């Protein structure tokens, strides 16, 4: 009888143990989560993008006339003084070489011009002879008219003939000078780069001087060559007058105010540089991203506020990363952005009450991507579930994940 009771009690105990095991196995366990706290402190919102440095006033020195550019001896970085330092020199361009047809045509033009000049000289000599004859007739008529041998009308006709002869001589002389000029012009067509010309040593050199003081930033032309008027030769400017240009997305640029603080990193130094936004340009432009996406951009101009000794290693066209402050608060109630989620069209968080996660709707303000301003729904010191997964539901038991 005792042995049966022992077996029965053993079976009951085993069954109870199995029931307790399965009950424990199927009981819901607390979900391990990361947690964060609602805190108060300073908070800053900013926009950032890549920018580049540039000299504030860059002067592009161009060729004032078409000519033959001599080799530019100024090097990049050379100091120049306003209206004193010569930058480049220009000579008149050399004539072109003539092919056989052009040479024959030029020689024919010379022969024709010579013939025309000979004709003009003959006409001038004829006009001189007629003038001498008209003057002699007029002189005789002036002697005979007072004695009554010729009429007054005849005397006037003689004097008119003299005046006409003088005008004809002037016309003939002008025609001779014109034909002589045409002959010189025809001869000039035969001048080639290898031909000797009496004025070859009198070509006037045009010297281009620096319009402002500063340094040579870029040399666009170097070797001797023929350049047309307006061809850029050199860029000059003052590297001490450096500014930063950042092209922001237009939706970010509208948040920036003139005077906004700027922090610049990744410029090559081991410390950040500081500046202030001076100008948000009122004109936007289209730019394509590396992925081919069309973007509307706006240039923001930034002035350095650090002493020049801090950024003097920077030059024209250097790259920097600029972070422009758009808002700042000193005592802001805030939470990590990773605790936010959307619920029923509103922002919400899972607040940890005891050992349970409670869905709590909140109202937020500024957001800098890392911290979010809390305007309503939470208090300082509240504990929140950070990065809630799909396993987290309202009222579920949670436990802090071990690090």
Domain range holding 296? 46-55+239-330
Tens of pLDDT, residues 175-233: 889 988 888 888 877 776 655 444 444 457 889 999 989 999 999 998 888 899 999 99
Least confident of 185-199, 277-291, 294-308: 185-199
Statement to judge: residues 342 and 357 lie in one domain: yes
Task: Pick the closest to residue 395 from 37, 24, 30 (CA basis).
Answer: 30
Q: Residues 156-162: what's their mean pLDDT?
A: 84
Query: How far apart, in whole angstroms, are the C-alpha atoms of residue 108 and residue 190?
Result: 11
- Statement to judge: residues 180 and 142 lie in one domain: yes
Of the ranges 55-69, 194-208, 333-347, 358-372, which one carries the lowest mean pLDDT score?
Answer: 194-208
Whether residue 380 sits in one domain with residue 254:
no
Please tell me the predicted confidence (pLDDT) of residue 391.
85
Coil, strand or helix: which one is 350? strand
Q: Rounded distance, CA 124 to CA 180, Å?
A: 13
Given a contact cutoff of 8 angstroms between Cβ atoms, the answer to whether 26 and 198 are in contact is no
* Structure tokens, 267: 């410029």
Residue 169's pLDDT is 87
- Residue with the bigger pLDDT between 224 and 20: it is 224
Radius of gyration of the chain (CA): 49
How far apart are alpha carbons 146 and 151 in whole angstroms?
9
Task: Give the containing element (helix H, strand E) for 400.
Answer: strand 398-400
What per-residue confidence (pLDDT) applies to 138? 83
Same domain, 195 and 221: no
Share of the chain above pLDDT 70, in %: 90
Length of the chain (residues): 403
Spatial contact of 337 and 372, defined as CB atoms under 8 Å apart? yes
Residue 166 clears pLDDT 60, i.e. is over it:
yes
Residue 201's pLDDT is: 45
**pLDDT of 307:** 94
Name the pLDDT band for 282 (thresholds 50, 70, 90).
Answer: very high
Q: Is 194 inside a domain boundary?
A: yes
pLDDT band at 275 (very low <50, low <70, confident <90, very high): very high
Mean pLDDT, the chain, whole residue set: 87
Structural domain contains residue 120: yes
Q: Mean pLDDT across the stretch 335-363?
A: 92
Rounded Cα distance, 33 and 355, in Å: 11
Mean of pLDDT values over 18-31:
64
Q: Which of 173, 199, 225 is the last residue of a domain?
A: 199
Domain assignment of residue 311, yes or no: yes
CB 97 within 8 A of CB 124: no
| pLDDT for res 389 | 87
pLDDT of 140: 81
Q: Does residue 154 sit in helix, strand or coil?
A: helix
Instruction: Give the CATH number for residue 275.
Output: 2.40.30.170
Same domain? For 72 and 88 the reply is yes
Asked whether residue 120 falls in the same domain as residue 186, the answer is yes
**Which has more confidence, 149 or 53?**
53
Q: Which of 281, 308, 330 is the last residue of a domain?
A: 330
Q: Residue 338: which CATH number?
A: 2.40.420.20
Same domain for 75 and 118?
no
- What's the confidence (pLDDT) of residue 200? 44
Which tokens belong to 220? 């666009």
Give a yes or no: residue 369 inside a domain. Answer: yes
Residue 75's domain is classified under what CATH number? Answer: 2.40.50.100
Contact 273, 264 (CB under 8 A): yes
Does residue 339 form part of some domain? yes
Separation of alpha carbons 99 and 43, rounded Å? 79
> Max alpha carbon distance in the chain (Å)?
199
Instruction: Yes or no: say if 230 and 118 are a contact pair by the CB < 8 Å rule.
Output: no
- What is the percent of the chain where pLDDT is above 90? 50
- 258 and 301 assigned to the same domain: yes
Taking the CB of residue 173, how many other CB atoms lie within 10 A of it? 16
Tokens of 124: 């001038």
Last residue of a domain, one of 314, 330, 346: 330
pLDDT at 26 over 70: no
Asked whether residue 147 falls in the same domain as residue 270, the answer is no
Place of tokens 């040579």: 216
Pairing of strands 398-400, 31-37: parallel
* 45-99 residue pLDDT tens: 999 999 999 999 999 999 998 888 999 989 998 999 999 999 999 988 777 777 7
pLDDT reported for residue 304:
96
Of the candidates 137, 128, 204, which has an alpha carbon nearest to the alpha carbon of residue 165? 128
> Average pLDDT for residues 382-387, to the nearest whole number?
92
Query: Do 243 and 323 reside in the same domain of the chain?
Result: yes
End-to-end CA distance of the chain: 58
In this prediction, residues 110-138 reach a mean pLDDT of 88
Residue 359: its H or E element: strand 356-361
Predicted confidence at residue 385, as pLDDT, reads 92
In this prediction, residue 5 has a pLDDT band, given cuts at 50, 70 and 90, of low
The number of folded domains in the chain is 4
What's the confidence (pLDDT) of residue 255? 93
DSSP reduced 3-state for 402: coil
- The Cα–Cα gap between 324 and 49 comes to 9
**In the prediction, which pLDDT does 199 show?**
45
Give the per-residue pLDDT at 198. Answer: 44
């Amino acid at each position: 009888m005792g042995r049966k009771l022992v077996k029965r009690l053993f079976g009951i105990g085993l069954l109870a143990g199995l029931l307790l095991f399965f009950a424990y196995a199927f009981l819901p366990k607390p979900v391990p989560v990361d947690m964060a706290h609602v805190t108060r402190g300073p908070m800053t919102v900013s926009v950032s993008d890549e920018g580049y440095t540039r000299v504030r006033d860059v002067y592009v020195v161009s060729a004032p006339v078409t000519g033959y550019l001599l080799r530019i001896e100024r090097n990049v970085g050379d100091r120049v003084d306003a209206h004193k330092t010569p930058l480049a020199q220009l000579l008149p361009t050399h004539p072109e070489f003539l092919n056989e047809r052009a040479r024959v045509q030029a020689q024919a033009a010379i022969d024709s011009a010579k013939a025309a000049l000979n004709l003009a000289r003959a006409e001038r000599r004829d006009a001189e002879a007629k003038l001498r004859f008209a003057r002699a007739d007029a002189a005789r008529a002036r002697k005979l008219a007072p004695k009554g041998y010729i009429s007054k009308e005849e005397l006037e006709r003689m004097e008119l003939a003299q005046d006409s002869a003088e005008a004809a001589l002037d016309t003939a002389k002008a025609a001779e000078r014109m034909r002589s000029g045409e002959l010189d012009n025809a001869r000039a067509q035969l001048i080639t780069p290898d031909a000797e010309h009496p004025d070859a040593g009198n070509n006037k050199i045009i010297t281009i001087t620096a319009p402002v003081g500063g340094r040579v930033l870029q040399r666009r032309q170097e070797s001797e060559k023929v350049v047309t008027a307006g061809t850029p030769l050199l860029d000059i400017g003052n590297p001490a007058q450096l500014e930063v240009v950042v092209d922001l997305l237009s939706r970010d640029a509208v948040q920036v105010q003139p005077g906004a603080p700027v922090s610049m990193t990744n410029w090559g130094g081991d410390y950040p540089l500081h500046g202030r936004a001076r100008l948000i340009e009122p004109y936007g432009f289209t730019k394509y991203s590396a992925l081919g996406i069309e973007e509307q951009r706006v240039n923001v101009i930034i002035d350095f506020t650090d002493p020049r000794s801090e950024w003097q290693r920077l030059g024209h066209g250097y790259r920097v990363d600029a972070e422009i402050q758009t808002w700042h608060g000193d005592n802001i109630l805030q939470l990590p952005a990773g605790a936010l989620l959307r619920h029923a069209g509103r922002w919400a968080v899972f607040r940890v009450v005891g050992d349970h996660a409670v869905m709590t709707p909140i109202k937020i303000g500024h957001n800098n991507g890392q911290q979010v301003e809390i305007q309503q729904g939470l208090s300082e010191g509240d504990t929140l579930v950070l990065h809630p997964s799909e396993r987290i539901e309202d009222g579920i038991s949670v436990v802090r994940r071990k690090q």
